[in-house]
Structure 1
């Protein structure tokens, strides 16, 4: 079993393939990050993303021993539609944070759900994590439903954590634990 995140696997599901990110993915993410709805749902700052900086960022993901960044590829089209990430690794507590970014081309077809199941399963079954946590904004019920379908449990609310126009938005902290994953393998509803 790997003892860190240095190994960058290829994980294959029915609909998606997760593979290591490369500099060649930069243009895809530049387009995804230009979508105002994606920016809003992820709480990212509204700005233009320089292609050279994105190439440097995505090209360096494979060399990171303390995080796992994988491209989400739609197996039907072969197109990269987003990313899934385990980061903020805490080896002493066998814990990591999870985040995802799925562009419009990958939404509404179950690709994100399968991608989350694949990386969370890898985190528990291959990286020996005990806890994976995330935060989801209140205005993103679709993402929260995906996380609940996989077995993430709401733990609490971070009140008014994000400025949204003239208002403020709460975020829900969610997590899934290794014993929960062992019971249902990402299918808690049956």
Structure 2
């Protein structure tokens, strides 16, 4: 049986392009700008409304105190700039699984930071936390994110129909997951292992 999952430890995860690290108070204005980016709003299905600065500060300054989730800032190693966040949340202790989400602001797009950040935090979920399953959903109008998830080993499970009303149009979401035995086989590189990431 696996050891108890401990989300209270907030690690620093270092890759070639990105570093994932706990949030600090200095990150609050940067995240405010990222969360206000029109592309971030659209791709995450967030409401396009002004953010409450006090609520935002309260949120990001308390992430390290949360024992049931892991929120890490994504930093571009080349520039030292905070460019987004990666989150493990919705922890189901009994079934050893959790949800995953990520967002990348304008300063971090199209350079492989997102894919590497996915591999870093999902690898942590399996290799350090001992989880069995990590799942996510991605909206149909975000093929770039879907490809990043597939490159890291996520497998499409099915379509959640019309989950988002965007600009007067209903948008589907794709449910994806990766399991501990799959991760053990490919370590986040299914293409190199010859493993397909398509719908089963």
Whether the TM-score (by the shorter chain) exceeds 0.5 is yes
1:124 match: secondary structure: helix
- Alpha-carbon RMSD: 0.9
Q: Which runs of 4+ in 1 moved over 2 A?
A: none
CA distance in 2, matches of 1:77, 1:36: 23
Q: Which residue of 1 aligns with 2:110?
A: 108
Please, what TM-score do these two structures have when normalized by structure 2? 0.93
**Residue 190 of structure 2: SS of its match in structure 1?**
coil
Q: Does residue 22 of the first structure (1) align with residue 14 of the second (2)?
A: no
| Partner Cα separation in structure 1 for residue 5 and residue 28 of structure 2 | 29
Q: Deviations over 1:11-43 (max 9, x none)?
A: 110111110012221111111111111100001
- Cα-to-partner distance string for 1:66-124 (whole Å, 9 max, x where unaligned): 00000000011001000000000011111000001110100000001101100000000
The size of the alignment, in residue pairs, is 190
In structure 2, the partner of 1:169 is: 171
Contact kept? 2:86, 2:102, Cα under 8 Å: yes
Provide, for residues 161-183 of structure 1, a one-character-per-residue CA deviation record: whole Å limited to 9, x for no partner: 00011110000000000000000
C-alpha distance in 2 between matches for 1:77 and 1:51: 26
Which residue of structure 1 lines up, in the alignment, with residue 129 of structure 2? 127
1:68 corresponding residue in structure 2: 70
2:2 paired with 1:6: no
User: Are the aligned partners of 1:133 and 1:176 in contact in 2 as well (CA < 8 Å)?
Assistant: yes
CA distance in 1, matches of 2:4, 2:101: 21
Which stretches in structure 1 are left out of the alignment for 5+ residues? none
Q: What residue number does 1:146 align with?
A: 148
* Structure-1 residue corresponding to 2:138: 136
TM-score by length of 1: 0.98
